[in-house]
């Protein structure tokens, strides 16, 4: 596994101010994100939680540079974001592996594109693959992997490029509960060993508390930050034991008290006519 970065070299600090994104269709328009300001601290795992449809993926795409805001500013380490870049890599809700390439070729894809394959890099990629239990599947193809294994391969593919910011948009959605729990713990270990600045999006409070250094709770319609909770529980955390901890339960209660009214508002908004 790649060594964790020294705290002095952590990068990927994101600062967002006054962000707005409005979708327009014909005469109708809907502002999904409005007056949204937040920070993602370098070297931290920031989890964003909010009800389905509140605008999390919209915001993730703005940060990744796949979409442009109508107002506001996003900077990474003080530089304004202008379009997509190798400094910000994203893993989506859906699989995005190349089916015609072996798993190993998928893992090396970004490095090959940027001409960065060195002996040291090969060792590093193999070590990542080994850590997520995929080394013996290196010469196979993505179609021969289970859903959970595909997701792990996507994470390796992103992390070997050492992005300044790693964005994961509900990467474990759709996996069965047991696989999901294993994936969460596996991901937490990967994060602890790299400390790559991460934005992890979820709708699952238990997943959020297992992973988060900082928990951003989002409001709905339009989306902004309702609260930021610092989850200073010791690491590594285990799903099986975390909620035996009194403080973890207090964090959960605090988060759920904020999320419940937002989920109700999201439900009501979804019942309203679409844009
Ligand atoms: N390109 C688009 N054009 C029009 N409306 C859009 C577009 N992208 C997103 N929306 C709308 O913006 C709102 C927020 O969508 P978004 O996908 O960001 O939500 P989300 O919080 O990621 O939800 P989920 O948790 O279900 O993934 C939804 O009402 C959606 O219909
Ligand atoms: Mg989404």
The CATH number given to whatever domain includes residue 198 is: 3.40.50.300
Would residue 79 count as lying in a domain? yes
Ligand nearest to the CA of 270: 1
Tokens 């920070």 sit on residue: 39
- Entry pTM: 0.90
Q: Is the CB of 197 under 6 A from ligand 1?
A: no
Would residue 170 count as lying in a domain? yes
Q: Is the CB of 32 under 6 A from ligand 1?
A: yes
Q: Is the CB of 57 under 6 A from ligand 1?
A: yes
pLDDT in tens, 155-175: 888 888 888 999 999 988 888
Would residue 141 count as lying in a domain? no
Backbone angles phi, psi at 28, to 5 degrees: -95, 145
Would residue 147 count as lying in a domain? no
Task: Give percent of the chain above pLDDT 90.
Answer: 54
pLDDT in tens, 210-253: 999 999 999 887 899 999 999 999 998 888 888 899 999 999 99
CB count in 10 Å sphere of residue 271: 7
Strands (E), 106-197: 165-169
What is the reported pLDDT for 273? 61
User: How much helix, strand and coil, in percent to the nearest 5, is found in the chain?
Assistant: 40, 25, 35
Go through 243-262 and write b for each residue having 16 or more CB atoms within 10 A of its CB, e for each that does not: eeeeebeebbeebeebbeeb
Would residue 125 count as lying in a domain? no
Would residue 140 count as lying in a domain? no
What is the reported pLDDT for 151? 86
Ligand nearest to the CA of 21: 1
pLDDT in tens, 198-213: 999 999 999 999 999 9
The domain tally of the chain equals 1
What is the reported pLDDT for 158? 87
Range of the domain at 12: 7-87+163-269
pLDDT of 108 above 90 = yes
Would residue 93 count as lying in a domain? no
User: 270 C-alpha vs ligand 1 centroid, how far in Å?
Assistant: 11
Which tokens in the block code for residue 8?
A: 């002095």
Which residue's C-alpha comes closest to atom 18 of ligand 1?
Answer: 55
Would residue 121 count as lying in a domain? no
């Amino acid at each position: 596994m790649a060594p964790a970065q020294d705290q002095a070299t952590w990068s990927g600090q994101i600062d967002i101010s006054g962000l707005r994104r409005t979708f327009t269709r014909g005469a109708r328009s809907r502002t999904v994100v409005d007056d949204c300001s937040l920070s993602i601290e370098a070297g931290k795992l920031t989890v964003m939680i909010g009800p389905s449809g509140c605008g999390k993926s919209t915001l993730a795409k703005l940060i990744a540079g796949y979409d442009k805001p109508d107002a506001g500013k996003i900077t990474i380490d003080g530089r304004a974001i202008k379009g997509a870049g190798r400094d910000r890599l994203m893993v989506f809700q859906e699989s995005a592996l190349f089916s015609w390439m072996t798993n190993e070729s998928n893992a090396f894809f970004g490095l090959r594109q940027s001409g960065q394959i060195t002996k040291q890099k090969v060792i590093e990629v193999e070590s990542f693959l080994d850590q997520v239990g995929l080394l013996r599947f290196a010469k196979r193809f993505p179609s021969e992997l289970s859903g959970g294994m595909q997701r792990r391969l996507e994470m390796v593919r992103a992390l070997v490029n050492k992005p300044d910011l790693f964005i994961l948009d509900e990467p474990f959605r759709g996996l069965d509960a047991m696989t999901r729990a294993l994936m969460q713990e596996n991901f937490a270990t990967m994060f602890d060993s790299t400390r790559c600045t991460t934005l992890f999006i979820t709708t699952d409070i238990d997943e959020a508390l297992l992973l988060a250094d900082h928990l951003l709770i989002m409001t709905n319609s339009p989306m902004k930050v309702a609260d930021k909770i610092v989850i200073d529980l010791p690491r590594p955390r285990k799903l099986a034991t975390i909620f035996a901890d009194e403080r973890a339960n207090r964090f959960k209660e605090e988060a759920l008290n904020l999320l419940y009214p937002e989920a109700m508002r999201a439900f009501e908004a979804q019942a309203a006519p679409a844009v």
